[in-house]
Amino acid sequence: MDFACLWLGLLLPVAATLDFSYHHQEEMEEFLKKVAQNYSSITHLHSIGKSVKGRNLWVLVVGRSPKEHKIGIPEFKYVANMHGDETVGRELLLHLIEYLVTNDGKDLEITNLINSTRIHIMPSMNPDGFEAVKKPDCFYSNGRENGNFYDLNRNFPDAFEFNNVSRQPETVAIMEWLKTETFVLSANLHGGALVASYPFDNGVPATGTVHSRSLTPDDDVFQYLANTYASRNPNMKGDQCKNKMNFPNGITNGYSWYPLKGGMQDYNYIWAQCFEITLELSCCKYPREEKLSSFWNLNKASLIEYIKEVHLGVKGQVFDQSGNPIPNVIVEVQDRKHICPYKTNKFGEYYLLLLPGSYTLNVTVPGHNPHLTKVIIPKKSQDFSALKKDILFPFRGQMDSIPVSNPPCPTIPLYRNLPSHSAATKPSLFLFLGTLFHVLFKYSKM
């Protein structure tokens, strides 16, 4: 038996050992390439573009089908180091990669996660900024911005007001990447505070700004997601940063903290059909590297549990009467429509993150009357899978008039002309005090 275990160990890939220190671009690339080489059956390394100074924007994909999407397998992503001087998330994602690949086939939870999810990990969105930091500081360093001195978390199109800034290469790379995958859930990792912040970051009266908040139609889900992460991190739910605003239970609505134009999480939600939250993981933006191991220990459980939430709610395909999947079909919950409607992808797939409960799905094919169907999300969803519900659209006739491509909503302020009595302005369960302080605490959004 011992000999068999030894022989099995010899057959397993050799791990690319990662120490708890800061890894600059060359070291990070070397690590990622070793992982991709040693675990080629479950990983795929690719660059989605280049920074201002020509550095690759690396993404490592982990999953059973790392090179391509498989029907029914949701796409998840983590992005870190958007601000170059906020460094903890960059190292956490490298260690997460190592943890995932080395525990596949050994740890049942990780194995099931890799079996059921396609996980995209970008350790550094702003490698130029990281390399520009010469004197690390807890509060601000010259590496926050990219190589053209733009704040990348103010550089995306905004749904509430015009954001007339020059789109940077890193921003464009993210926007193009989002078009290539059906991302369902995401988080971007920052530093400078301890809080999980959820959309919206900007707003109008229709989303609740008159009440010093800005809520999405999926506010219940976002608060649940933020709590999922924060509740498993002892520091986020308790020992928060001294001399800074405290956040009850470690979560906040972005606008309630302070308004932000051109942020990445709002862009993901509105234009990419991807639920994204912002994770502020350290009081000090660029802490000493001897503290990195403790950050990993504090965040490991949260990082894993948050990925599992991509299986929340309901998923499926929409078919015509001949059994052909229909792309570009609007599939939304009747009472929580999005300003840019969520549509099926080229495989006719939809993914809706929903909490347990009863919902009515409104399925709309261009040129046909809406089709309503009820769905009940059980209190205890299936492990590593959302509830599966395929939809047969009951109509006759040819499908030639339905476009195969999914034309995007225009990247303009879609919310500008909404009336101020939107349902999003209603109070919700987990909103907390903090609005009075956001003027005093103009943190960089982290």
Q: Which residues carry out catalysis? A: 280
318 vs 328: CA distance, rounded Å? 10
289 vs 297: CA distance, rounded Å? 14
Instruction: Tell me whether the omega of the peptide bond preceding residue 200 falls within 30 degrees of 0, making it cis.
Output: yes
365 vs 367: CA distance, rounded Å? 6
Backbone angles phi, psi at 358, to 5 degrees: -105, 130
The answer to whether the CB of 299 falls within 8 A of the CB of 92 is: yes
* DSSP secondary structure letter of residue 392: E
97, exposed or middle or buried, with CB in 10 Å at 0-12, 13-18, 19+? buried
Please tell me the chain's helix, strand, coil percentages from 3-state DSSP, rounded to the nearest 5.
30, 20, 50
CA-to-CA separations, 172 to 157, 158, 178, in angstroms, rounded? 11, 14, 10
> Whose CA is closest to 267, among 181, 191, 153?
153
Contacts of residue 280, defined as CB under 8 A and 6 or more positions apart, other chains included, come to 190, 191, 192, 193, 194, 195, 196, 197, 446
